Amino acid sequence: MEAPLIISRLTEDILACILDRVTDESDRKSFRMVCKTFHRVDSLQRTSLRVLRLEFLVSLLRKYPRIEALDLSVCPRIDDGTVAVLLNGGGGGGWTRRLRRLVLSRSVGLRWIGLGMLVGSCPCLEAVDVSYWCEFGDREAAVLSCARGLRDLRMDKCLNVTDVGLAKIAVGCEKLERLSVKWCLEITDLGIELLSKKCRGLKHLDISYLKVSSESLRSISSMQKLEVLGMVGCHIVDDDGLGFLGSGCPSLQVIDVSRCGNVSSCGLISVIQGHKCLLELNAGHYFFELSTCVLQRLKDLKNLETIRVDGARVSDSGFQVIKTNCRCLVEVGLSKCKGITDTGIMQLVSGCPNLRILNLTCCDALTDMAISAIADSCSNLLCLKLESCNLLTERSLACLGLRCFLLQDLDLTDCSGVNDRGLNHLSKCSELGLFYIGLNCTNIGELDIYRCMGIGDDGLAALSRGCRKLKKLNLSYCIEVTDRGIESLSHLEELSDLEMRGLLNITGTGLTALAYGCKRLAELDLKHCLNISDSGFWALAYFSRNLRQINLGNCAISDVGLCMLMGNLTRLQDAKLANLKKVSVSGIELALRVSCIRLKKVKLHTSLGLYLSPEILETLHARGCKIRWD
């Protein structure tokens, strides 16, 4: 379609300026669908590309000539041969000279030869992500070290990388500023020592779950520019190691010592004493009780913005200290903390009006009084987690709906006191904001009401009327919900992630309405929805072409329905197909054959391993699909 006359007067330069101010990906998609001119402008402006289907990769690189960031993490399989074809046919190779960021996480089939070709062809590479690449080892690290301009590298859970591979990267990539080697279990103190000597410009380092000792922290303490250090689950590190950090790392602003089981309050005090400009302190599951000596030292952290002490016992007097001294807090994590009372929370929020994120998961002694205080004091709240706070009632949601207009993420999992009337109040988070001049009222984007037994169709209707920007919803085991409630959800055009396990009152009628209305659905969990007929699954196959992940465990789908679904969902990459009692072995095999080119993960019942043909299992493995037997 050509541009209307009034739009045709806008030059491509003006349209490009407009597009630069459009940040939401769904809005950008709408922009490029307006007309050919808008589509051409988007093609010329696009700088990042995430590819779902490998067969389109070469044509996409030709279509978007200014690509600087390429994400191949969701492609089913990238191997050395694919890389050779890509470099020879992808837009004449011009994209390689501009590429700055490359994501290869979870790669299957790619080896050091293909990685070497990519690195050699992309001289401007600054950021690479190879996390969860099972075959990534020292040889791959050696070729990656040839990217001399590399500044950002993620190697999470690259289990084959040793000190040798890390040494290669440390020597070759001296400009590194960000490095994550979380779960790289073969890296020891020796590798960290060499890293600290060679990469003096490191600002962000994550060594979580490494089997390193305090000697590594002695080495890290010499890093003058280090600002962020993650060391979750470093169980060998002791108080001496934290003492080294306390006297070193002069630029440190963020530290995460969660689940470090061999350290005490003394070690944390050392860090606090040496870094009074800390902005973020994460000490979840670090100690049994937030002791008086630690609380006294918190007085020194006047600029602290985030504190997480998940799992600790915190007294009301402790909140009084935090309230008095840490008035810049924007995030507080108290998940599974003991001793949390209404009084303590009221003290906390009265002194921290700028709170935006508050995690009260499993603080089961809290009542509506605490939530009322939160709503009164924290009008800028964005995220509130209240899982298993069973004493809360609809009055809590009424308070949030009246005052927390900016709320985006609310977790009410297992809150048995929440009901339809509460959701009706909550929906006003988007309606009431219209009455306030100049207030941009952001709708809730994520809501978890898992196993809230009091939620029914009326509540979902209120939710769909008021929270039109909802993108992620979990209503699993809300057993009162019927097709009428699901039909209400079909009006949520932004909905992309929906969990609805165990909804026995849902039939093909409800699923059909959902599929027709929610075209952006990407993840759908229908496990134990026993009464959905094939008509609902046919609707999914026809309308829900954006689905990438689906759980059909224990559903009543037939051979025909499953084959149609798996064949039509051209973006599907993760399918859970366990315990499909109405599907035969031949039906499962045919469904896998029509979708194996796309699948990255599939879950099947263990017994099928004896009956599926070796050919289909070998094909899935060759294409990089991981099979999980249930």
Secondary structure string (H, E, C) spanning 65-84: CCCCEEECCCCCCCCHHHHH
Q: State the helix-helix crossing angle for 189-198 and 163-172, rounded to 10 degrees.
A: 0
pLDDT digits (tens, 9 = 90+) for 265-314: 999 999 999 999 999 999 999 888 888 889 888 888 989 999 999 999 99
Q: Token pair for residue 616?
A: 């289909």
The answer to whether the CB of 120 falls within 8 A of the CB of 94 is no
The answer to whether the CB of 346 falls within 8 A of the CB of 373 is yes
> Looking at the DSSP assignment, which residues form a beta bridge with residue 193?
none
pLDDT for the residue numbered 85: 83
Using the predicted structure, report yes or no on whether residue 318 has a pLDDT greater than 60.
yes
Q: Is 4 exposed, middle or buried (0-12, 13-18, 19+ CB in 10 A)?
A: exposed
Q: Across residues 555-579, what is the average pLDDT?
A: 95
Q: Token pair for residue 42?
A: 């988007």
CA dihedral 268, 269, 271, 272 (to 10 degrees): 120
CA distance 583 to 327: 59
Strand, coil or helix: 186: strand
Using the predicted structure, report yes or no on whether residue 248 has a pLDDT greater than 80.
yes
Nearest to 575 by CA among 613, 530, 630, 538: 630
Q: Across residues 193-218, what is the average pLDDT?
A: 97
pLDDT for the residue numbered 454: 81
Nearest to 493 by CA among 511, 467, 475: 467
The answer to whether the CB of 65 falls within 8 A of the CB of 47 is no
pLDDT for the residue numbered 90: 58
Q: Which amino acid is at 316?
A: D
Q: Is 320 exposed, middle or buried (0-12, 13-18, 19+ CB in 10 A)?
A: middle
Q: Which amino acid is at 70?
A: L
CA distance 442 to 143: 46
pLDDT for the residue numbered 431: 33
pLDDT for the residue numbered 304: 95
pLDDT digits (tens, 9 = 90+) for 393-444: 888 888 887 888 888 888 988 887 776 665 665 554 443 322 222 233 345 8
Question: What is the pTM assigned to this prediction?
Answer: 0.88
Share of the chain above pLDDT 90, in %: 66
Flag the least confident range among 65-74, 179-188, 463-472, 608-617. Answer: 463-472
Type and span of the H or E element at 152 = strand 152-154
**pLDDT confidence band for 32 (50 / 70 / 90):** confident
pLDDT for the residue numbered 145: 96
> Looking at the DSSP assignment, which residues form a beta bridge with residue 331?
306, 357
CA distance 600 to 568: 16
pLDDT digits (tens, 9 = 90+) for 69-107: 999 998 877 888 888 888 886 555 578 899 999 999 998
pLDDT digits (tens, 9 = 90+) for 346-389: 999 999 999 999 999 999 999 999 999 999 999 899 999 999 99
CA distance 346 to 89: 63
Q: List the Cα angle 138/142/148 in 5-degree steps.
A: 145
Q: Which amino acid is at 321?
A: V
Q: Is 130 exposed, middle or buried (0-12, 13-18, 19+ CB in 10 A)?
A: buried
Mean residue pLDDT of the chain comes to 89
Nearest to 287 by CA among 316, 253, 310, 307: 310
Locate the DSSP E strands across 373-465: 383-385, 409-411, 446-448
Using the predicted structure, report yes or no on whether residue 613 has a pLDDT greater than 90.
yes
> Looking at the DSSP assignment, which residues form a beta bridge with residue 313?
289, 338
